[in-house]
Amino acid sequence: MSSDDLEAELRALAESLDVPAPPPDQVAAAVRARLEAAPPLEAGSSDVPLPKEAASSDVPSGRSAEGARPVRRRARWKVVAVVVAVILAVTAATPQGWQAVLTILRLAGIEVTLTSDTPAPVATPTGLPGERAVPPGQAAAQARFPVRTLTALGSPRRATVSDGGRVVSMFWPGGVRLDQFDGGMDPYFFKRLGPPFPQDVAVNGGTGWWLQGEHPVGYITRPDHTQIPLRQAGPTLIWQRGAIGYRLEGAASMAQAAELARSLG
């Protein structure tokens, strides 16, 4: 089964469930209790333990235990799919559920911490480590990854390269800013966000997040993961294309941000 097929089945299953809505702390406690009650796996084992009755009935006569392993793995993925769907069905509808289960989100090298209150703004802006201005046409030669630009906006007015070529930032009139970086890298950008929480956005066949409110943005440096508050960011679209992460700030709306993102070339 492909990842797209699995996602479709999970969404269909979640919509078909009639799940009560206990408080999120009760959900977490129930899940923890079930996990702690499960028998531990032996070192090196990749299979989920089965009851004796199931273990004897799952293997047809004449088949070895090794031949039954794919069956067990399929069963395990079905259990995982059901658990994920139940959690989504119970928690996704309320901000309390987001905070109980998805306190920290990560996408494209960006870490987003959801909070119940609006975080305090960054009072003193700080630049990225080693940030330096470069002619826009020379940014690609100084980066550690393929650099792209927003063709819908034409050539950027200016550009910077930071952290030894790990981050390239481009700037256009009207406050539009595009940061691009290795989406699988460590360190990460980090953000703190209160309500309203991120919205899913379709971007070039993938999924991005639209962060519609102002929020602090910072940078986690190497090697000790120290968080450096950078500045107060405006509404931002974040997404990933291949191994590269992007954050687009300064668009007037989510629709405009998605349109600009589609022009990435």
Between helix 24-37 and helix 65-91 the angle, nearest 10°, is 160
User: What's the pLDDT tens digit per position in 105-127?
Assistant: 788 888 888 887 788 888 888 99
User: What's the pLDDT tens digit per position in 4-47?
Assistant: 665 666 566 555 555 444 444 454 555 555 555 655 544 444 44
Cα 264 to Cα 2: distance, rounded to the nearest angstrom:
27
User: Which pTM does this prediction carry?
Assistant: 0.60
Contact 128, 220 (CB under 8 A): no
260, with CB counted inside 10 A (0-12, 13-18, 19+), is buried
Contact 198, 208 (CB under 8 A): no
Buried b / exposed e over 130-145, threshold 16 CB at 10 Å, is eeeebebeebbeebeb
User: What's the pLDDT tens digit per position in 143-197?
Assistant: 999 999 999 999 999 999 999 999 999 999 999 999 999 877 665 788 888 888 8
Token pair belonging to 110: 């960006």
Quote the pLDDT of residue 84. Answer: 44
